[in-house]
């Protein structure tokens, strides 16, 4: 399984949709839904993410602050 691919004709890298790297790329570009999913991934160990409560909290705070329901839920779960 390849998590990313590069083409010789362009300098762009495409990550496997839904992978950790895809979510990081999209979240870094401001996509709030991706940030919420990334928070969930780090909180639960899904989307190819290792469990990491610090990273989960970082992305959950960002996503929740922008009104993302997944981010809000993850943030609430992490605060317990």
Share of the chain above pLDDT 70, in %: 82
Residue 28, number of CB atoms within 10 A of its CB: 11
The answer as to whether 56 is a domain residue is yes
Share of the chain above pLDDT 90, in %: 72
**Helix residue ranges per DSSP H, 1-80:** 20-28, 32-44, 53-65, 69-79
Flag whether pLDDT at 11 surpasses 60: no
pLDDT at 1: 44
Flag whether pLDDT at 2 surpasses 60: no
Q: How confident is the model at residue 19 (pLDDT cuts 50, 70, 90)?
A: confident
pLDDT at 7: 52
The answer as to whether 68 is a domain residue is yes
Domain that holds residue 37: 18-79
Q: What is the dihedral sign for C-alpha 47, 17, 70, 57? A: positive
The answer as to whether 45 is a domain residue is yes
The answer as to whether 26 is a domain residue is yes
């Amino acid at each position: 399984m390849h998590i990313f691919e590069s083409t010789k004709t362009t300098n762009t890298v495409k990550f496997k949709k839904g992978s950790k790297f895809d979510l990081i790329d999209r979240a870094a570009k401001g996509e709030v839904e991706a940030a919420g999913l990334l928070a969930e991934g780090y909180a639960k160990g899904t989307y190819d993410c290792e469990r990491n409560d610090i990273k989960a909290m970082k992305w959950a705070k960002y996503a929740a602050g922008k009104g993302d329901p997944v981010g809000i839920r993850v943030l609430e779960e992490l605060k317990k």
